[in-house]
Chains A and B, each alone.
Chain A
Amino acid sequence: MLLDINASVGHWPFQHYNYNTCLSLLDRMNKYGVDISVISNLNGVFYKNTQSANEELFSEISSDTRFKDRFIAFGIINPIYAGWRDDLSVCSSKFGFRGVRLYPLYHDYELIDPLCIELVRAARDAGMVVAFTLRIVDSRPRSWMDIQKEWALKDIIPIIRAVPDAKFMILNVANSTELTDDEAALIMNSDVLLDTSGRAISNLGELLKKFGNNKFAFGTHSPVLDYVSGRLRIESLRASEADEATRELIRSGNARRVLGI
């Protein structure tokens, strides 16, 4: 089974993307053999009131019976905007969303802002996964209206340290994976998944040695990145780097564990 933990629908305001609706993404999944995609709505990165984007996503997923078994929805929540607690509750209880994606760089708050920590704790208590994206797009060819800053893996550590018993997904690991021994131990002792879409995962064989078999999950970062590189990093591993059982963990097993499905 292939379970993509890093896909989105919705618009990116600075560039045209194909395959950014549930229907077009489903076609993509069918063509490339992907069973399930975890999705959120990119519009929520830009709406001040992110709940509108979550409502759009719920409405789109509910619009076609084919979507029910193929998509797992995550909401986008901004903890410094009014009403986020209610929004989170609605995402979880009414919409059935299984996690949230947070965008502190775009929503302009610090990762360890007390409200962000409160949100991560609330998500944990609701059984929801919390996802952070190290970058949505490559900042080099960005629009002059886009943000410049990108994160490295190290930058996520403070929130994991603040709420170590939450479940985390770290998406599009495009930059350095260098960590101190303490930081690496924190990752290894927490319920953290890194998806395979980012360019820094190209040495997946080495990373498996460093972090273990249960820390990686297939991801595409669709529609922003090409649809197959995240999988190519898994399937091109040598048998000496990953046996079939390990590959299955990366293809879906680890994601299913964290998502509780």
Chain B
Amino acid sequence: MHQRFALPDVGEGLTEAEIVSWKVRAGDTVAVNDVLVEIETAKSLVELPSPYAGTVVQLLAAEGSTVEVGSDIVVIGDAAAGAEPAGPAVPAEPAEPSGSAASGGAVGEESSGATLVGYGTRESTARRRRAAPPAPRPEQPQAPAAPASGPVLAKPPVRKLARDLGVDLADATPTGPGGTVTRADVLALVPSAPAEPARREDRHERERHVPIRGVRKATAAAMVESAFSAPHVTVFTTVDATRTMKLVRRLKEDPEFAGVRVSPLLLVAKALLVAVRRNPDINATWDGDNQVIVVKNYVNLGIAVATPRGLLVPNVKDADEMTLKQLAVSLGEVAGRARDGKAQPADLAEGTITITNVGTFGIDTGTPILNPGEAAILAVGKIAQKPWVHKGKVKPRYLATLSLSFDHRMLDGESGSRALADIAAVLEDPARALTWT
């Protein structure tokens, strides 16, 4: 017998949750209370334990999708059921956001998309199940085309539309995912149906509607706040980083740095810290409420990290007091935690200045937007060999373009430019760090 597990309301009065990651796959054997899936609600990130023992027959919701409370998310069969052919499982990595189930893609995705929609969610709420338990129906593999027989599948609003128009759903030709009858299918049965909704259906396939939420939403709010409260100025310089690259190679072989990740970014971070020491005004915040510029005597160095869940900027606390090795270890730790989705609230709070490494994307430079509350942000472009005039001759040298955006309320062109020139000077000749610190 197959049991379906419907997404419960794990908070108080929640209506939906995002599937973050499945901890089981079709075919896995689970015991009662084994963790099935991690979900994120408006309130929290929680793991859902299995209410049933048996074999996972099918995952009904893709990672990244948003599911309504009460929708079935997984089918679990008796241990013996594992031998039966299971329905088409959700592909392991359909990280497409919700609303995209019908938006093209591979055939396999489309076929499984049907189950992402969660038709008939109302029938499967726990309350109903108790009130009138329906005979457990065997799961059928769902083909992309309409099922040969059985009840007509359609979402409740579509059923209502059909009822309102006096149309029998059984007469409609289902074109929706998993053989469901769509709004357009119902309207097609009505000769005078306005064409507009059909166009909308069509347009839906040409566009992808990504809900604005989570990290995206937070990023958007922070960027708007920053871009429209701090007047940004960006200055650029190209630097010969050949000596820096040599130093990176030497440090990689240095036994003291064994097991530590040494990258050009580490030396850029150090160069920025040296520059902050000489230009403390770039490590500051604008306190409009109290009409003061707060210049920090410590550096909590932020690093922009592209994570699977979006852009995060964790920072290394008191980076200015660290040895190069401590800095390397700390940068690795905070970035690693952010990438793994394990960033602590403290990791993301109280940054004072930020580096964004656009070079990792093969890009030469950019005009970064300030992390809100900070006075400056440094963008590092790709470091690559290019022709450069060195000691009077054109030679292949490692070049990089740096850009520094700063808040013109606090800093003028002169101070911002000096700070960037200092960073460039250290990267051009790392020995300068010795004379300047």
Q: Do A and B come together as binding partners?
A: no
Chain B contacts to A: CB under 8 angstroms: none
